[in-house]
Structure 1
């Protein structure tokens, strides 16, 4: 397992353009079946660094949004299973990067908010696409339009996080114990947005590939 740490604790791990580039490189270059994404210090990620945002003009603002979208897409499209371990506040772009992960696992100290509306902004790192897909349009509109903060239990209830536990890294370790190729295949099948008939064809072919790959061990387990 590869651990990727957002490491600006003095700024609650807020992300600059350079920080986004470093995060993209760390995830895409990870040679591990599972990547565990965490924040250093008491926060997961405060999102975009507001010192950067305050200095943007229209052209650079669009470029900054596209940069964040590219990083979120890289997380979502990575061959590795990416697990976000959220221990403390996740805000704005921090929520959006977590949304791009395959699993979001929170501690009881985790909180989530999309507070952009309070600044006359909104989450533009793919948040308006992924948030309604994951929690439903009603919950997504409530979070985006109100800017309210939800705790870990509320986030779990709405499907924003899959588990609440004292040790999110243990969940990542649990997943990493499985066969790497199987993890890759399951992620690819779950992320497939091709037409249903094509999805079904690819699913059957991927299953056959894995049976062919693991036939001996399956037989051993059957006979044990």
Structure 2
């Protein structure tokens, strides 16, 4: 897919006038495995934009292999904890970004790659996408929020099965278990579809869906922001009513 955006290492590809910022994990020779510097670059690319939608993808035949094992192999306990915290911080930044983040998974997503996708608001796979949390085979596990987000997204039973077995699931099984919401040949088109909607409403819906306050607080906020949006879009609503 040629979007005409500027390429950089874990940086944004931005087409002029486009409502979508494309962020490409760009180490195809390492299946886009992430180093500490790569994580920092990813965080900056996702959070450093005012565009309403961010589309996260991998360069080459893989989405993301997760943490670079060359880095992990050289860590002591303190360094390992710091690397895990760094990955968690980036996943949290994706989840809390003002932009709606769409992860377009084409090819393998492994370990931290799955965990970064889990932090996105919408996960879309191509038919060639595969997913696995293989850390258990190395005596590890997904520490970039994997034990937190995976059960929240697919349910505890499916999450335990994936994390304890390390098995690989294809796109259709990922769709069945709710790990992705769509399987399509062109995940970028989903990002464009979302970006066609009102940007303020996109941010509002994301914020409301991500709110973990007590239910009564959430419902009160929902009422207030609905009023704000009706007031903001009064003319458009009237035009639609009269059309």
TM-score of the aligned structures, taking structure 1 as reference length: 1.00
Question: Where does residue 91 of structure 2 map in the other structure?
Answer: 72
Structure holding more helix per residue: 1
Aligned equivalents of 1:106 and 1:206: distance in 2?
32
Question: Where does residue 139 of structure 2 map in the other structure?
Answer: 120
Measured against aligned partners, the alpha-carbon deviations of 1:106-159 in whole angstroms (never above 9, x if no partner) come to 000000000000000000000000000000000000000000000000000000
Question: Where does residue 27 of structure 2 map in the other structure?
Answer: 8
Question: Where does residue 34 of structure 1 map in the other structure?
Answer: 53
Measured against aligned partners, the alpha-carbon deviations of 1:67-104 in whole angstroms (never above 9, x if no partner) come to 00000000000000000000000000000000000000
Does residue 192 of the first structure (1) align with residue 211 of the second (2)? yes
Q: Give the match's secondary structure for 2:233.
A: helix
Aligned equivalents of 2:239 and 2:109: distance in 1?
45
Q: Give the match's secondary structure for 2:66.
A: coil
2:186 to 163, 167, 181: 167
Question: Where does residue 223 of structure 1 map in the other structure?
Answer: 242
Which runs of 5 or more structure 2 residues have no equivalent in the other structure?
1-19
Question: Where does residue 90 of structure 1 map in the other structure?
Answer: 109
Does residue 210 of the first structure (1) align with residue 222 of the second (2)? no
- Larger RCO, structure (CA 8 Å, separation 6 or more): 1
Which runs of 5 or more structure 1 residues have no equivalent in the other structure?
none
1:178 to 154, 172, 197: 197
Runs of 4 or more, structure 1, over 3 Å off, are none
Aligned equivalents of 1:30 and 1:55: distance in 2?
34
Q: Give the match's secondary structure for 2:22.
A: strand
